[in-house]
Structure 1
Amino acid sequence: MFRTRFAALLLASACLAPCLAPGLASPGLAADKPAEAPKADTAKAAPAENGQAGLLPADSVTKHRYTAGGRTIAYTAHAGTLTLRDEDGKPGAKIFYVAYTQDGAGPGRPVSFFFNGGPGAGTAYLNLGAAGPRALQFPAGMPTDGAAARLVDNPDSWLPATDMVFIDAVGTGYSRPIDPHKAADAYYGVTKDGSAFAKAIELWVGQNGRQASPHYLVGESYGGIRSIQVAWQLQQQQNLIVNGIVMISPAIQMQFLDAANNPLASAMTLPTFIAAHLDAAHQLTPAALDDAYRYAFGPYLTTLANAPPQGAEAQAFYAEIARRTGLPEEVVAKQRGALDPMSHDVRSRGERLYGLYDFTQSIADPYPEGIDNNDSPDPTLFGFGRAYGNAFAGYAANELGFRTELTYDLLSMEVNGAWRWGDHGSPMTDQVALLRKLLAIDPGLRVFVANGYFDMACPFGTTRWTRDHIPVGAERIGLHLYPGGHMLYTRPESRAALWHDVDGFYAASAAQLK
């Protein structure tokens, strides 16, 4: 995975990769409880299991109050597990989730299901980063210092607009397969993963009597692919049609995330390079970004897709790219204009190493003399981003009452390395075909996409190009750009702007339902 830009999807956030699991759509996958299953505010005992799944404790239910913007909301937090069963009705996996539900609200209140990406990332990023009632705050003067991060009340929680259920994929977070040796075949693939999530959502909806609620999906990074798959599997396998999808720094078409071998992918990435340079020069404006996008898909792509220029023509081409991006012309020429965001040559300048997940964010370069690209650390992936794991473990134990000996698996390389990207030899990583179907057959479906200007893992150019090439329903896809990178919500101002826009999205959806 780390040999290509697919490594960028390990986070998500994230900034950001399902063949059906045996029996996941069958009647044998009914909930653990009969029709009178407990509601969200009722704890249930965890079934005895062997291995790591057996270390998961009983569900924990706690009461809280959230205050922001002069409004106080009493809510219940339910940290617990759902059981996925195989075609014989035997437990296959314990799915960990945290649900936040407003006390006293009726069944018509929206409920949103959150997941991160990777594949292999837990939902601590979205929970403690973007939407949950608590947020991990990094030092304003040193945003890459994860050791100094502190958990604070989140003034930008999405709780005023929707109930929220954060679900960890099998093998991530606290979710565990019953038999680890069978997990890859059962869950670690594009459609299998989507099917598992769809069943987990159906179980939660059924156990909590939320069939009449408006339902939304929220996915980050690879969660973009996952959100489309889950929406489709919910509709086809569980008979549940979602009202909306929110994608944060999404991956949708994997072939556009390898700029080294695809001129179109290079054109999609170039506006992000330019945006980072404009930001450093305090010249970042919507008009300047639009000019960058048009240059990328005009003169730049035309030149890159043809035979490489020679002589004076090549020198002029590379000089123009260097001028627009601020990168050294010799680096641009060395890569023949097709800039590789993972290259140490591209990321290292002035003894500072810039991040793949945020190209304006840098650390001291541990190898200013140069190093193999695979050994050049990313400050988010290998540095401050790891703070979310410890913070969530403490939050779950000390505030939600969910105590376990398990380590919260924030980023599972085992899951990531075992992931199956295709089905019967056909690539399953381009989800636009499913998105087209969903937009066509569900005329009320609305999609909200958030991108950071400086995200090299899942550049905003890929989203804009994808939206522009969808023939039906493109007007129901809203593209929102914010200062920041893959995890744009780590910047408090961008997190606040995201919440403002998301709140409007939910309000518009509610008005549409009336």
Structure 2
Amino acid sequence: MTINGQVINYTATTGYLQLKTEDGKPKANIFFVAYTKDGVTDRKVRPMTYTFNGGPGSSSVWLHMGIIGPKRVLMSDKGDVLSPPYSYVDNEYSWLDKTDMVFLDPVTTGYSRAVTGENDKQFHGYDEDIQSMGEAIRLYATRYDRWHSPKFLAGESYGTTRAAGLSEYLQSKYKFYLNGVVLISSILNMQTARFDIGNDLPFPLFLPTYAATAWYHKKLDADLQRDLKTTLKEVEAFALGEYHTALMKGSDLTAAEYENIVNKLSRYTGLSKDYIRQTNLRIDIHKFDKELRREEGLTVGRLDSRFTGRDYNDVGVTPEFDPSNDGTISGPYSAALNHYVRAELKFKNDLPYEILGGRVQPWNYNNVQNRYLNVAESLRKAMAVNPYLKVWVLCGYYDLATPYFAAEYTFSTMGLRPEQKKNVNFTYYEAGHMLYVHKPSLIQVKKDADKLYNDVMKEINSAPVK
């Protein structure tokens, strides 16, 4: 294939990595698809990127056939679905010119399964997943001789949670040190996205994305509609200042203070003042999705709030479905992967390829009973031990699943030292959770990815030889 004018000859390898106990007892088969550039004689100069999605319960299909791999699902430039039966094309924005890559499906996603006689629930939890995916990465690096390659992880959504956990686990368990971690639509601290009674943290952190969504749908006052980024700066300052303070004061707010917050929340969200009062200043994401365009009979998407859908009726509290997931991307990606793997890669398997489902539920969070999972500390520890570890955080302005402001908050409160903060880079795109379905964002991501790999390789090549 051709990327940035360069012809890349590559080999695709697909199959299973079998997880075993040390005495050789099989436990599970991890399905993978790997792409390696041909003609590379020195693997020390060829990066290797280990890639997965999230869920929990998602296969790696989204990053595989949406952004990083050599093929991508064909959609409109905005990200609208084209007519079935769908198609895919060569991905001229693939990262294959910069890095080899392997896409890994956690147990019970994709074609990955526990072996006969083993309970798949033993892999369905935070700690269990980190251990099994860590072993799969170690096994691939060992079997395919990639220990000397520069090493990267790339995860999306819960895959960023996994990547942060793996950054410390791989380092401490196997002394497997990384050069970079790519966090696409990042969520490291679950408290930032749980709308529980008594947890007011999500409300100010989601507010800028509510404002971006209202801006996109032209629901804001004229002065706020002029420029998205200028508007978001104003909203961010309000969210961290007056709004956060008001939530902390709770019922101790004066009537004047309360009405001031009502007026500004209405101004920044496009929702009525009466509705803001009904929420007691606390706007839940799913209710926002239903309320913003209720008068027009439309709901907005959670994964990508640019998209709209219609429910059976308009009286519900929350949407019946996510128009940016069920109504947009699931069908094309499922059709593409199932055809591509069998017809082109010649991998014959009659199992259903589990794209994104509930077979891993309930997910085991026993490691954080009575508290929220927060893996930011795992990433901080990895960065403290490994001062060369680079972290790239990719955020979509219209992502209501993992809002950009929550990711910023997480990194600003995780206790990074100044020298560590220099190793973190945020980039932003006018897209949603799967930011690559928006073609202008996909093109920009490729440029940003090139910079990451170029910078890391430049640092490696400039290191003094002793």
The TM-score normalised by the length of structure 1 is: 0.83
- The CA deviation at 1:142 is 7.3
Superposed displacement of residue 471, structure 1? 2.8
Contact 1:357 1:487 in 2 (8 A): yes
2:239 match: 296
Tell whether 2:305 aligns with 1:359: yes
Deviations 1:272-314 (A, max 9, x none): 1112223344534433322221111111111122124464543
* Partner Cα separation in structure 2 for residue 104 and residue 142 of structure 1: 36
Contact 1:82 1:200 in 2 (8 A): yes
> Tell me, which stretches of 5 or more residues in structure 2 are unaligned?
219-224, 462-466
Aligned to 2:222: none
Asked whether 1:430 is paired with 2:377, we answer no
1:14-55 superposed Cα distances (whole Å, 9 cap, x missing partner)? xxxxxxxxxxxxxxxxxxxxxxxxxxxxxxxxxxxxxxxxxx
Match of 2:34 in 1: 99
* Amino acid corresponding to residue 399 of structure 2 in structure 1: D
Equivalents in 1 of 2:215, 2:368: separation in Å? 45
What are the within-5 Å matches in structure 2 for residues 69-148 of structure 1? 69-105=4-40, 106-108=42-44, 109-140=46-77, 143-144=80-81, 147=84
Aligned to 1:286: 229
Cα offset, 1:236, TM superposition: 1.7
How many residue pairs get aligned? The number is 445
Matched to 1:351, the amino acid is G
Amino acid at match of 1:389: S
The answer to whether structure 1 residue 504 and structure 2 residue 441 are counterparts is no
Equivalent residue for 2:188, pick from 252, 255, 265: 252
> What is the 5 A alignment of 1:33-48?
none
- Amino acid across the alignment from 1:152: V
Give the C-alpha shift of residue 315 in structure 1.
3.2
Whether the aligned pair in 1 keeps the contact of 2:79 and 2:439 (CA below 8 Å) is no
Aligned counterparts of 2:77 and 2:458: Cα–Cα separation in 1: 38
Q: Secondary structure at the match of 1:437?
A: helix
**What is residue 226 of structure 1 aligned with on the other side?**
162
Assess if the C-alpha contact under 8 Å between 2:27 and 2:118 holds in 1. Answer: no
Per the TM alignment, residue 359 of structure 1 is displaced from its structure 2 partner at its CA by 1.6
CA-CA distance at 1:490 after TM superposition:
0.4
CA gap 1:243/1:428 in 2 versus in 1, 3 angstroms:
farther
d(CA) in 1 for partners of 2:457, 2:356: 35
Partner of 1:446: 390
Alpha-carbon RMSD across the aligned residues, in angstroms, is 2.0
Gaps of 5+ in 1: 1-65
Residue identity opposite 2:59 in structure 1: G
Q: In 2 relative to 1, CA 327–368 (structure 1 residues): closer, same or farther, beyond 3 Å? A: farther
Q: 1:347 to 1:167 in 2, by over 3 A?
A: farther
Cα pair distance change 1:507/1:95, threshold 3 Å = same
Shift of 1:140: 4.4
Query: How many angstroms does 1:372 deviate by?
Result: 4.8
What residue identity is the alignment partner of 1:292? V
Q: 1:336 aligns with which of 280, 289, 296?
A: 280
The offset of 1:396, in angstroms, is: 0.5
Equivalent position of 1:153 in the other structure: 90
Cα distance in 1 for partners of 2:411, 2:368 equals 28
For residue 479 of structure 1, the aligned residue among 426, 430, 452 is 426
Shift in alpha-carbon separation, 1:81–1:409, aligned structure 2, 3 A: same
The structure-2 alpha-carbon separation of the partners of 1:263 and 1:284, relative to structure 1 and needing over 3 Å to count, comes to: farther
Q: Aligned partners of 1:236, 1:508: CA distance in 2, in Å?
A: 25
1:19 paired residue number = none
Measured in 2, the distance between the counterparts of 1:259 and 1:504 equals 37
Letter in 1 for 2:236: Y
8 A contact 1:266–1:339 mirrored in 2: yes
Q: Which residue of 2 aligns with 1:457?
A: 401
How big is the shift at 1:259? 3.3
- What's 1:62 paired with? none
Q: What SS is found at the alignment partner of 1:327?
A: coil
What does 1:258-337 correspond to in 2, within 5 Å? 258-261=194-197, 262-281=199-218, 283-308=226-251, 309=253, 311-337=255-281
In structure 1, the residue corresponding to 2:271 is in which secondary structure? Answer: coil
In the alignment, which residue of structure 2 is the partner of 1:56?
A: none
The SS at the match of 1:79 is strand
Cα offset for 1:195?
1.2
